[in-house]
Copies of this chain bind each other. A is one copy, B any other.
């Protein structure tokens, strides 16, 4: 702290992490921002011995910018300090803070300690949300990221272009292996690209993973021999870590071509640990992401979250889909899809996975707003709930996406493909009349 000019370094360096937050506070914004920087680097609540100016100079986090925002209307977090003497209302700002990488190194758990640790508990804050992370190159050196991503998945599926269509086994749980075999056969014969276990399906007694793997891979092999096409099946290998690794090996040994991991339920570092041992594409499910994202005044935004999941090795990552059955708006979903598709440290080309309430009627609007077919679109109920059964469900989804990408209207396509007409009659066309339709 000897030379003030040296301290105010306005730009990010390759040895810093920059975290962007939504900060809401009744204190002066700069004071709240400094409270985060202090708590998350050198500080405690009182001056302590050996905390020299030189030490602070070298290790303290630096507030790079405080950009005041219009009022958000968010509820206050409990316990937030009100400074009655100032009589000021709540202020909201986008705050950028730089953390020296040397404080913690390119490690996901240690990074989280700095950018997402105790700060959620600071009483100086009436709202605190980690929006984004700019990570320096050493993270790319530590974390290889997706092994397959968009291109690798397309190669395995022999689908060089076009949207990738998938489904979830339904019912979510309870289906015995012999019935699963029939479901898989029907879907595979109908030309689906991808099938996955529900995230609720682990390795229960009524359908142990080993048995599921045996049945599914055998069935997919038979279909592939007949049709020349072998869908990818993502077995949910989520479990305690040694079991998860063994599950992966089991899937691989049986000739399976994909594993699913619920990223939050094992954690980023467990995903990275698996990635180091994994030879199959990792389908990254986002169960429990809502606990980080849904409270507007608290949490971790999907933009920041998805970067960590991609670093940790997710080849596919769930983004939710338009007109989904969950809480997110289309705008939020589109932002998530964009986040996953935006290059990270020059790579980390993860495939966005759209799911939840996906039906043929959503294809034109999804294509119009994402402007890409580098998407894996999963229809669960939208395929299994088709009035003429799952095979017709696949046909309808494929016809809808074919129409969407070729500029044909759904109605025109449905006139040629009865399964699509049935699907539209059953599930509707939420965006009928919009430019995509």
Known: A171-B51, A173-B59. A294 touches B287 (CB 8 A): no
Return chain B residues, CB-CB under 8 Å to A267.
265-270
Task: Determine whether A134 belongs to the interface, using a CB cutoff of 8 Å to chain B.
Answer: no
Contact between B49 and A262 (Cβ–Cβ < 8 Å)?
A: no
Known: A102-B205, A288-B120. A55 touches B240 (CB 8 A): no
Return chain B residues, CB-CB under 8 Å to A42.
171-174
Chain A 16-73 interface residues, beta-carbon cutoff 8 Å to B: 40-51, 55-56, 58-59
Task: Determine whether A137 belongs to the interface, using a CB cutoff of 8 Å to chain B.
Answer: no
Assembled-state Cα–Cα distance A74/B240 (Å): 35
Contact between A58 and B174 (Cβ–Cβ < 8 Å)?
A: yes
Known: A199-B117, A240-B273, A288-B117. A389 touches B109 (CB 8 A): no
Known: A118-B199, A199-B113, A294-B77. A325 touches B45 (CB 8 A): yes
Return chain B residues, CB-CB under 8 Å to A384.
44, 48-49
Task: Determine whether A297 belongs to the interface, using a CB cutoff of 8 Å to chain B.
Answer: yes
Contact between A240 and B44 (Cβ–Cβ < 8 Å)?
A: no
Task: Determine whether A10 belongs to the interface, using a CB cutoff of 8 Å to chain B.
Answer: no
Return chain B residues, CB-CB under 8 Å to A273.
240-242, 270
Contact between B329 and A243 (Cβ–Cβ < 8 Å)?
A: no
Within the complex, the shortest CB–CB distance from A384 to chain B, in Å, comes to: 4
Within the complex, the shortest CB–CB distance from A392 to chain B, in Å, comes to: 11
Contact between B79 and A326 (Cβ–Cβ < 8 Å)?
A: yes
Contact pick for A385, options B46, B112, B121, B142, CB 8 Å:
B46
Return chain B residues, CB-CB under 8 Å to A47.
385
Assembled-state Cα–Cα distance A290/B239 (Å): 25
Task: Determine whether A184 belongs to the interface, using a CB cutoff of 8 Å to chain B.
Answer: no
Task: Determine whether A91 belongs to the interface, using a CB cutoff of 8 Å to chain B.
Answer: no
Chain A 247-291 interface residues, beta-carbon cutoff 8 Å to B: 262, 264-270, 272-273, 276, 287-291
Contact between A121 and B44 (Cβ–Cβ < 8 Å)?
A: no
Chain A 165-210 interface residues, beta-carbon cutoff 8 Å to B: 168, 170-175, 179, 183, 199-200, 202-206
Assembled-state Cα–Cα distance A148/B380 (Å): 47
Jot down 9 A-B pairs with beta carbons below 8 A, ordered by A.
Answer: A50-B175, A78-B296, A104-B204, A113-B202, A117-B262, A120-B294, A121-B327, A240-B269, A241-B269
Known: A102-B206, A121-B290. A170 touches B270 (CB 8 A): no
Task: Determine whether A361 belongs to the interface, using a CB cutoff of 8 Å to chain B.
Answer: no
Return chain B residues, CB-CB under 8 Å to A105.
202-205
Return chain B residues, CB-CB under 8 Å to A44.
168, 170-172, 380-381, 384-385
Return chain B residues, CB-CB under 8 Å to A244.
109, 269
Contact between A113 and B80 (Cβ–Cβ < 8 Å)?
A: no
In the complex, residue of chain B having the shortest beta-carbon distance to the beta carbon of A390: B49
Task: Determine whether A151 belongs to the interface, using a CB cutoff of 8 Å to chain B.
Answer: no
Contact between B51 and A170 (Cβ–Cβ < 8 Å)?
A: yes
Task: Determine whether A224 belongs to the interface, using a CB cutoff of 8 Å to chain B.
Answer: no
Assembled-state Cα–Cα distance A118/B172 (Å): 13
Assembled-state Cα–Cα distance A270/B172 (Å): 26
In the complex, residue of chain B having the shortest beta-carbon distance to the beta carbon of A206: B102
Within the complex, the shortest CB–CB distance from A208 to chain B, in Å, comes to: 10
Assembled-state Cα–Cα distance A113/B244 (Å): 15
Return chain B residues, CB-CB under 8 Å to A241.
241, 269-270, 272-273
Task: Determine whether A229 belongs to the interface, using a CB cutoff of 8 Å to chain B.
Answer: no
Return chain B residues, CB-CB under 8 Å to A102.
204-206
Task: Determine whether A122 belongs to the interface, using a CB cutoff of 8 Å to chain B.
Answer: yes
Task: Determine whether A246 belongs to the interface, using a CB cutoff of 8 Å to chain B.
Answer: no
Contact pick for A174, options B59, B77, B298, CB 8 Å:
B59
Return chain B residues, CB-CB under 8 Å to A327.
77-80, 121-123
Return chain B residues, CB-CB under 8 Å to A326.
79, 118, 121-123
In the complex, residue of chain B having the shortest beta-carbon distance to the beta carbon of A80: B327
Contact between B75 and A74 (Cβ–Cβ < 8 Å)?
A: yes
